[in-house]
Amino acid sequence: MTYVEWLRIRNLLRITAIVFAALILLAIVLRLAFVHNGPYEAMVSHAMSDPNTKVTHTTLPDGTPRTILDNPVDKTHIIIDDHGYAGKRIVITEPAHGHDTNDREQVGSVHVDETHSSRSVTTTIDTNGTTDFSTYAGIACFISLILATILGAPFAREADGHLEITLTKPVSRERFALAILGVDALGIVAGWALTIIVAIIIESIFEIPRFGWGPNTALFLASALLLPLAWYALLVALTSSMKRGYGAVQGLAWPVALVITALASIRLSDTPLAQAIHNLFWVISRIDPLTYGSFKGSVSANGGTVMTHSSDLAARIVILTVLMIVYGALAVMQWRRVEA
């Protein structure tokens, strides 16, 4: 009884796979084009353009080419070890510039480590460090949100001229509705998994994929999977009673949700009206799944987004699950009352 929905999902995943294939092809092309012209090579050229820089090329005992850039005038010393497919290790030593906290950052597979001493600051960049699995999950979450939006009006699509077929099947309306939701959810999860696989493939075109698994990664993965499902459930709940115009809801949902998030996290002025508006949108944003979709490191003073500590992640998972179930139930309830 969910054959038609399966066909829709198959077509959608097929298009997604084609887009992914094109991206992989593009990655291959870029890899070949920029093998000797990457960003670090550009950095080297830029440094080399300074007449005070002395450039030394050596080879390490294991065969790794090393480039040393020394600028005695501004006391900058850069060592670049090119491990080829295994990435680059760059050590930059510069005079101290005031901030004296040691810092460690990680964006994707690029690890940046800043160590301070009294007179200098050393920045070590490892371009092929481990990639925490959350990064892949974050990309998958984003793509799945798109898939969820596209799939997000199954009952409206049936109500748009097909009820005479859909409502004359030998199953109860509830069972049919749940089956459709289940099938769409599987499609979203399949897209999610496919995205991760494709992300790993694209990464491996450029460098060795090294997977990192931190203490919060599992929780983050769960929340990254639940977010698109909760978003899907919201869209279905909004469109279940519609026969026409549901496309507009699907299209406008993202911008509207982001505006709500924005209005919930900023205060336009100190007037009571602005405070009231802020409070109103803050309340609305609590039931907007995208509110719980921040990524690592983003913080806001007013609670518009949530920090990624494990207890916050756990809370996020619970809230998203509840939203998913409640919106799903609302959708099914509306479907029960639909008339041809």
Contact residues for another protein (CB under 8 A)? 1, 3-4, 7, 161-165, 167-173, 337, 339-340
Backbone angles phi, psi at 116, to 5 degrees: -110, 140
Residue 163 CA: distances (Å) to CA of 167, 202, 236: 5, 43, 17
Nearer to another protein, 3 or 301 (CB): 3
56 vs 172, beta carbon nearer another protein: 172
Reported as type and span, the H/E element at residue 197 is helix 173-206
**How far is Cα 302 from Cα 44, in angstroms, rounded to an integer?**
42
CB of 105 to another protein, least distance (A): 48
Q: How far is the CB of 157 from another protein (least distance, A)?
A: 9
Pick 5 or 126: Cβ nearer another protein:
5
Can you list the pairs that 94-98 forms with residues at least 24 positions away whose Cβ atoms lie under 8 Å? 94/120, 94/121, 94/123, 95/119, 95/120, 95/121, 96/120, 96/121, 97/121
Which amino acid is present at 185? Answer: A
Report the nearest approach of another protein to the CB of residue 7 (Å): 7
Paired tokens of 337: 């009352």
Q: How far is the CB of 201 from another protein (least distance, A)?
A: 31
Smallest gap, in angstroms, from Cβ of residue 179 to another protein?
12
- Alpha-carbon distance of 19 to 25, in angstroms, equals 10
- Judged by CB, which is closer to another protein: 210, or 336? 336
Minimum CB distance to another protein smaller for 4 or for 218: 4
